[in-house]
Amino acid sequence: MYGNLWLIPFFPLLGAIINGLFGKKIKNEAVIGGIGTLMIFLSFLVAVQNFFRLIGDTEKVHEIVLASWMTVGNLQVNWELLLDPLSAVMILVVTGVGTLIHLYSIGYMHGETGYYRFFSYLNLFAFSMLMLVLGGNALVMFIGWEGVGLCSYLLIGYYYEKKSASDAAKKAFVVNRIGDFGFLCGLFILFWALAGHGVWTINFVEIAANAHLLEAGGALITIITLAFFLGATGKSAQIPLFTWLPDAMEGPTPVSALIHAATMVTAGIYMIGRMNILFAMAPSTMMTIAIIGAATAFLAASIGFAQNDIKRVLAYSTVSQLGYMFLAMGVGAFSAGIFHLMTHAFFKACLFLGSGSVIHAMHHAYHHAHLHDDPQDMRNMGGLRSKMPITFWTFLLSTIAIAGVPLFSGFFSKDEILWWSFGSTAGHPIFWIIAVCVAGMTAFYMFRLVFMTFFGAQRTDPRAKDHIPESPWTITVPLMVLAFLAVVGGYVGVPKILGGGNHFGNFLAPVFGPAQELHNLNAHGSHALEYTLIALSVCIALFGIYMAWLMYMKNPALPAQFTAKFAGVYRFVFNKWYIDELYDFVFVNPCKRFGTFLWKIFDVRLVDGIVNGCAWVVKGVGAGLRYTQTGYMYNYAVAMVVGVVVIVGFYVFG
């Protein structure tokens, strides 16, 4: 019945191959971009079809084995896909948002050398991500897991001639590799632990079915889940492995939207969701996840205050929102986390693409005026709302959504997370306090961005300011669609307390319900309390907006006064808490120095020295023998005697 599921990853793979192999010969941008977009759109259609099939189906979990991969001993690894409500939601988000980003790229990347390369990578990325979410066992998932790593490497380093771009790409890959270390360790320990009970499997359904063999709350399950969580922090840019994401803004803007809004960074959340049964068994891990999530959300939001590069603000905002999702996972609000993942994909993709539209226009203007100002610096913008009305309105709607203003999508998903972090059996009021602060901070720095970019006086160089155009339709149409979703996307999951049916949560219940019931993960509390909390969070969000308005609209001199007064704090935040410098100091540089030591001292001097020493001794002895003796016969005789002595020695002493 779900026999065509394989088409979903297949189409983008096909597109990647076509554009990768023949793109250079095709040359025509419309054809290249058309193929890339069409392929992912076809995937989207198949995804929609399967999604509705699944809705109508009573059986919610379907495994499709495509072929065998390796069989060794008791272990059989297949190429297999898994369709359940969780992966169904994910494929919709990935292909849906992915299609819009592909469409957007057609116009955005116009005129770039390597146009075909870009679409090939983009398709390959979509393929990897779809393998990741559809993979029916941990190794197929790992293919996607590493595949998105590779593609992000290629896409972040798309402008490979720039040193900063290739450095950022390398950093992203290596930091992700640290996470992969965790993923693999988790996988092996899990495999080993289950094998100890006679179950040789890496298949998700079987793992879920046999999870009860492991001791809930035991050390083993805690280690397993912590290792997996380390993997998740790499992909989803959480403390301690978040440093790659802001640097990854070196890639073209559609890449930022694809990687950092809709796909790659959500992999960690998805993975925890996929293995929710294991995580639910390890309360200490859950607590760790919640703490890390809340801490990351706060840290990133604070850095977002001080950035002037429009994309960097969005990057830190992404890290911060991901922290929110991890907080949700940590307090057991799995479906709320996935819900926020989805709404975030809508509004963050819209924001990134909107910023791309702005950068595109600024770039155009500067190019026109032969200037080399930074088209991404918000200090060069201002007053753009009249120049780019569509970009402005879509951007504004998405900003309202992310700020958590009621009735917009972000409000519903964020509020569910807030409620769970307060009232869940795994939650704590402190989580709620942090999360609600972050909500206020988010509203502040996002509106700061909007005010600096679209409102106020235009600070662009006078020579360029009249040449800022609105973007073409391939750019604005995706923006409008995404803005629409950012507004209404939350209505699929309106919670009961606000008069909705929480369809989203109910749809995912077959995936998350069992674990939540078994380990007593639920949010409880009176309606009055819940209403109060909602009202409070809304107030704080509005307060954040008000502060942004106060500082960047009403009294633009205020920010400068603030930074002057708290110069130390400002510098600390502006420099991203010096975490990159700290890592360089503690890990990277010592590693490099140790490597130099191993090579220059150990390998060249010691290992080679011994060898050369031997050679030297042999040479010396040989030379000595040559002086004292007559010919070769002697050497042979010595060799024979030595040999005989050794052999005799064996008999005597052996």
Selected from 608, 617, 624, 632, the binder of another protein by CB under 8 A is: 608
Q: Which is nearer to another protein, 178 or 407 (CB)?
A: 178
Residue 67, strand partner residues = 79
* 205 contacts another protein (rule: CB under 8 A): no
Contact map string, positions 583 to 602, toward another protein, x by CB under 8 A? --------xx-xxx-xxx-x
Taking the complex as a whole, the smallest distance from the CB of residue 179 to another protein amounts, in Å, to 10
Residue carrying structure tokens 């979990």: 61
Token pair belonging to 46: 């198949």
Residue 292's nearest CA partner among 329, 336, 340, 326 is 326
Residues paired with 82 in a beta bridge: 63
What DSSP designation does 462 have? Answer: T
Counting residues that bind another protein (by CB under 8 A) gives 58
Alpha helices of 57-162 — where are they, by DSSP H? 85-108, 115-134, 138-156
Looking at residues 54 to 73 of the shown chain, list those that interact with another protein (rule: CB under 8 A): 67-73
Among 185, 497, 536, 547, binds another protein (CB under 8 A): 185
Residue with smaller CB distance to another protein, 305 or 583? 583
Dihedral sign computed on CA atoms, order 483, 484, 487, 488 = negative
Amino acid at 509: A
Which helix (H) or strand (E) covers residue 15, if one does?
helix 7-26
640 binds another protein (CB under 8 A): no
- The contact mask relative to another protein for 99-138 (x = CB under 8 A, - = no) is ----------------------------------------
The Cα 171–Cα 27 span in angstroms is 32
CA distance 633 to 639: 10
Report d(CA 453, CA 548) in Å as an integer. Answer: 13
In the range 149-168, which residues lie near another protein by CB under 8 A? Answer: 150, 153, 157, 160-161, 163, 166-167
646 binds another protein (CB under 8 A): yes
**Closest CB to another protein among residues 23, 304:** 23
- Dist. CA 166–CA 603, nearest whole Å: 30
Report how far apart the first and last C-alpha atoms of the chain are (Å, whole number). 71
Residue 75 contacts another protein per CB under 8 A: yes
645 is a site residue for another protein (CB under 8 A): no
Among 41, 173, 242, 445, binds another protein (CB under 8 A): 173
CA distance 109 to 402: 27
Closest C-alpha to 180, from 110, 104, 235: 235
Closer of 16 and 446 to another protein (Cβ): 16
Would you count residue 17 as binding another protein (CB under 8 A)?
no
Q: Cβ of residue 511: shortest distance to another protein, in angstroms?
A: 25
Q: How far apart are CA 360 and CA 363, in angstroms?
A: 5
Q: How far is CA 356 from the centre of its chain?
A: 19
Q: Which of residues 309-338 bind another protein (CB under 8 A)?
A: none
Nearest CB to another protein, comparing residues 177 and 197: 177
Residues that bind another protein (CB under 8 A): 24, 67-73, 75, 139, 142-143, 145-147, 150, 153, 157, 160-161, 163, 166-167, 170, 173-174, 177-178, 180-181, 184-185, 188-189, 191-192, 195, 591-592, 594-596, 598-600, 602-603, 607-608, 611, 614-615, 643, 646-647, 650-651, 654
